[in-house]
Amino acid sequence: MEQTSVSIVRQCEMLGVNRSTLYRKRTGRSLEPLELMAAIDELYTAHPTKGARRISKDLQDLGLKAGRKRVGRLMKLMGLVAICPRPDTSRPAKSNEKYPYLLRGLTISRPDQVWASDITYVRMPRGWSYLTVIMDWYSRKVLSWRLSNTLDPRFCLEALEEALEKYGCPEIFNTDQGSQYTGSEFTGLLKASGIRISMDGKGRALDNVMVERFWRTLKYEEVYLKSYRDMVEARIELGRYLEWYNGERKHSSLGYKTPDAVYSTRKTGNHEAA
């Protein structure tokens, strides 16, 4: 078989992945499940249209043993399906009430009109932690966040309580249909605050596109560049990044203004930035 002349550095660039994860000895060795899941996470975030077969081939091109069935099993475990990356972090509870999606065709033109929330994986040395954020859709500002080592609904509720205490109430709150968001405590707090509840359609990850885009930005600019030693370090580093993201990172879609600057227009009524 002809040996490829493309360096592993160039291969990583072509595949859109970080060398820190995939730059390993090309021995064809099998990876441990957590290592393989981390590699899949990067490949999938870079190319969310790829399924298990194509991701398996990418890994094999990098000299890693990763059969399609094994990759498929791990992708199923992580809740990753082609088209858009969505970790299986929010599983529906059949007994909980679901709500219609209210954002279709809606022009979002001001801060606090729509807030959104979601959950993603953050890899750790011996497993995964789970990050939730609450974001103002118009300004992209992260209003609150929590990191947890379990998917207990409490960490999502705490993020909501903090955002409401700091910033007041939005008109609409959008999430997926996961049990963390459909439970009576979470929806009860929204209802008691006079907030309309919107939920993504089943299998429609793009219904919450602003948070999905943020996850990709967060992983490329922060998570994939670092290896957090533990939850304490992860919280510190993520906190630093989110402070920078809100206060210093300029967005082309916001007229090269920061989320903080655009969100502050809620006080003046000047919403021409985004």
Distance, CA of 91 to chain centre: 15
Residue 240 contacts residue 246 (beta carbons within 8 Å): no
Strand segments (E) across the chain: 114-124, 127-136, 142-148, 172-175, 196-199
β-bridge partners, 128: 123
Taking only Cα atoms into account, the Rg of the chain, rounded to an integer number of angstroms, comes to 20
CA angle 252, 253, 257 (to 5 degrees): 60
Structural domain boundaries of the chain?
8-78, 114-266
Instruction: Report the CATH architecture of 114-266.
Output: 2-Layer Sandwich (3.30)
Q: What is the pTM of this model?
A: 0.72
Structure tokens at 193: 């605050």
Predicted confidence at residue 125, as pLDDT, reads 83
Predicted confidence at residue 196, as pLDDT, reads 98
Predicted confidence at residue 135, as pLDDT, reads 98
Predicted confidence at residue 1, as pLDDT, reads 41
Distance CA 55, CA 72 (A): 9
Predicted confidence at residue 108, as pLDDT, reads 95
pLDDT averaged per 10 residues, the chain (length 274): 51 58 46 77 76 85 82 76 54 70 93 95 86 97 96 96 98 93 96 95 65 91 91 97 97 95 84 57
Predicted confidence at residue 70, as pLDDT, reads 87
Strands 172-175 and 196-199: parallel
